[in-house]
Structure 1
Amino acid sequence: MTLPEPPRADADVPRWLDQLGLDRLVDIHTHFLPERMLHKVWAYFDQAGTHYGRPWPIQYRSDEQTRLRALSDLGVGVFAPLVYPHKPGMAAWLNEWAVDFGTRTPGAVPTATLYPEPGIVDSLSTALDHGARCIKVHVQVGAFDPRDPLLAKAWGLIAEAQVPVVIHCGHGPLRGDYTGLDVFESVLREHPALVTVLAHSGMPEYGAALQLVERYPNVYLDTTMVGVAFTEDLMPLPEDWSERLADVPERIVLGSDFPNIPYAYAEQLDAIAGWAENERLGVPFLRRVLHDTPARLLAV
């Protein structure tokens, strides 16, 4: 099948999906939070010039219902609304909120998060019992060591449940005290059954991320902010990226970071479409990335 012309704008995405034979997108990496908390996140991005040395205008800065309609209009039929704490005492109530949001919101799946503190195993266990189908971990924002002994049983619980954990553990966009794929590999060695999605494909350690995919059969990469102009300026992909993906086409999943991206959603899809131009990838790769693999991981 010939590759259809990729979407150049959000309004063109449904046409592209139809030509690919897909009735919906499955996005494993979006963010929905309690409104007060989300506004604080947006305030942080408003100061991106200080944090990152460049502006980061939020593309989909609107009320919750408008954001949900935007996803629906894009053809995102299933999405994981991810939450994450930045200090102790947040994970338990965020888990309660995320499970409730994912249960009552069309298209969303219940999610959960963790933080190294007493009680986290009980909180995670409760969230899983109530249907959590994806766990978000943000090492850089949380500023914690994923090897912390307080998390050992939590990692084991997640591995046993075979629920995917979307973990931001790479050095991008800012290096943290405990970021680095080598640090997180210590967790994988202890829990090799852990279903892991490396957020942002481990940006900027793309090569190391692919090595983890090769070493561990349950490690995946998400496409969040990968290959778009905004990040290519700072953390460019290796020139042989698409050729290396051709060796592991079933281990790549759609992620977007909606709504906190500084460009249109269609730009991420355009980047993925560009990788599919490799003769070893094509339409079957796009169907896997955009729907089949994330749907399987989220048990849709």
Structure 2
Amino acid sequence: MTSTDAEPDADAARDADAERDRVAAFRSALGLGHLIDVHTHFMPRQVLAKVWAYFDAAGPLVGRPWPIAYRQEEAERVALLRGFGVRTFTSMLYPHKPGMARWLNDWSAGFAARTPDCLHTATFFAEPSAADDVRRAVEQGARVFKCHLQVGAYDPNDPVLDEAWSLLADAALPVVTHCGSGPVPGPHTGPAPIAALLKRHPRLRLIVAHLGMPEYEDFLTLAERHEDVMLDTTMAFTSFSESAAPFPPRARPRLAALRDRILLGTDFPNVPYPYADALDALTTQDQDDAWLRAVCHDNAARIFGL
């Protein structure tokens, strides 16, 4: 190996060390030994490659350049999260068409079995097999589900999903739901479909991804009205998101009031900035250390019994 070959590797190692130090400093300032991240993505290799290619092409659902920050192999990405002190994470995955959910769930069950610090994650699609797919995933041990209304482009109130939602409500399993209209609106994104869903299934435990970006205040209202509705911080408050969908400062007191129902999410590895940036962004909202500890660890630990 020549010196020029070695220099990029050395630079990358220094960058990785510096980022671990940044995350460690964030945790230390809050007295947190660990973080819990409820919105991270692990998928079958071929699926993740297609997701990354879509981001690379700034596809229609992305709408802007989006360089992926963490393209390492699966084992390296798991090691990175552990190195950041992430005690527990998820394997958010989602189908974009019928016939995908069951095999994605089977893959995710295997990933959870070989990765004990991952919350066993599952998904579903608006198709006749939805209830059976959810039932099977619950029997396999799923502890959290992912529903992506933007990518899936389906109505959460489609009657074909009624039994699936009832199963999830009965099992009291949280469903991380991309239902906001960011980064690009879909045919069934926004607060109205979720408000209708909660009217029909009021016991659902929904975690609104991205704080409902960009309809932040509407989704805060839904959380205020429904005690089982939560929100995750995925990409919120970062300079990348603030440039397109700024969080309104007038809503900060509402964030404080909902401190027990806001959870850390990051979208790792599919982010265009360092993991530490997502954590630092949380400190820009004038919330106290107790709020930050609750968001970054305590709320998820309580909800998932960790």
Shorter-chain TM-score above 0.5: yes
Q: Alignment partner of 2:197: what SS?
A: helix
Q: CA deviation at 1:271?
A: 1.1
Aligned to 1:5: none
* Pairwise CA distance, 1:9: 4.0
Return the match for 1:259 from 260, 269, 272. Answer: 269
Q: Within 5 Å, which residues of 2 pair with 1:165-204?
A: 165-204=175-214
User: Are 1:93 and 2:99 matched, yes or no?
Assistant: no
Structure 2 counterpart of 1:218, from 208, 224, 228: 228
Distance in 1 (CA, whole Å) between partners of 2:191 and 2:97 is 22
User: Which residue pairs with 1:3 in the alignment?
Assistant: none
Contact 2:56-2:66 within 8 A present in 1 as well: yes
Task: Tell me whether 103-112 or 9-18 shows the greater mean CA deviation.
Answer: 9-18
CA offsets, 1:56-81, max 9 Å, x none? 00001111111111101111110011
Q: Offset of 1:106 from its aligned partner?
A: 3.3
Give the Cα–Cα distance (whole angstroms) in 2 for the partners of residues 49 and 85 of structure 1: 17
Conserved 8 A contact 1:10-1:264:
no
Q: CA shift at 1:135, angstroms?
A: 0.3
From 120, 129, 143, the equivalent of 2:153 is 143
Distance, in Å, in 1 between the alignment partners of 2:59 and 2:125 is 28
- Cα distance, 1:274 vs. partner? 2.1
Q: Deviations over 1:62-117 (max 9, x none)?
A: 11111111101111110011110000000111111112211221310111101111
Amino acid at match of 2:278: Q
Answering whether residue 23 of structure 2 is matched by residue 17 of structure 1, we say no
DSSP-derived class of the 1:246 partner: helix
Kindly indicate whether structure 1 or structure 2 has the higher relative contact order, using CA contacts under 8 Å at least 6 residues apart. Answer: 1
- Per the normalisation by structure 1, the TM-score is 0.93
Aligned residue type for 1:289: V
From 9, 28, 43, the equivalent of 1:33 is 43
Residues 1:270 and 2:298 aligned together? no
Q: Which amino acid aligns with 1:22?
A: L
How many Å separate the matches in 1 of 2:212 and 2:29? 31
- Displacement, 1:273? 1.9
Shift in Å at residue 233 of structure 1? 0.6
**Residues 118-127 or 46-55, more deviating:** 46-55
Deviation of the 1:120 alpha carbon: 1.8
User: What is the alpha-carbon distance in structure 1 between the residues aligned to residue 235 and residue 283 of structure 2?
Assistant: 14
Structure 2 distance, partners of 1:111, 1:52, is 24
How many residues in Structure 1 have an aligned counterpart in Structure 2?
A: 289
Alpha-carbon distance in structure 2 between the residues aligned to 1:67 and 1:87 = 27
**1:10, distance to aligned residue in structure 2 (A):** 4.1
Match of 2:5 in 1: none
Match of 1:229 in 2: 239
Q: Is the 8 A contact 1:170 1:180 kept in 2?
A: yes
Matched, 1:298 2:298: no
In structure 2, what residue type is equivalent to 1:210?
Answer: L
- Structure 2 gaps of 5+ residues are 1-17
In 1, are the aligned partners of 2:209 and 2:231 still within 8 Å (CA)?
Answer: yes
Pairing 1:103-114 to 2, within 5 Å after superposition:
103-114=113-124
Identical residues among aligned pairs (%): 48
